[in-house]
């Protein structure tokens, strides 16, 4: 089971269609990590910033998620 996170061209973050503020990412990932043992898939718009993707990756790792993949749409 993989946690899917989407980054829009405006650098907004969505999990299961619900927007998550950047300040809440780590808390949200810590809550969800146990339910997604296979890691995380970051789906990013080609126009999103590199910094937004790195922010997700850093927060995921701080939350105990170690398997992270990135896909561009």
The Cα 35–Cα 12 span in angstroms is 23
Percent of the chain that is helix, strand, coil (3-state, to 5): 35, 30, 35
Q: What is the pTM of this model?
A: 0.94
* pLDDT given at position 3: 97
Q: What is the pLDDT of residues 24-64, one digit of tens each?
A: 999 999 999 999 999 999 999 999 999 999 999 999 999 99
* pLDDT given at position 18: 97
In this structure, the strands spanning 18-20 and 40-44 are: unpaired
């Amino acid at each position: 089971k993989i946690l899917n996170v989407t980054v829009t061209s405006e650098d907004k973050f969505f999990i299961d269609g619900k927007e998550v503020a950047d300040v809440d990412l780590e808390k949200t990932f810590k809550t969800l990590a146990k339910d997604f043992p296979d890691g995380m898939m970051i789906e990013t718009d080609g126009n999103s910033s590199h910094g937004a993707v790195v922010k997700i990756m850093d927060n995921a790792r701080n939350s105990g998620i170690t398997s992270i993949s990135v896909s561009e749409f």
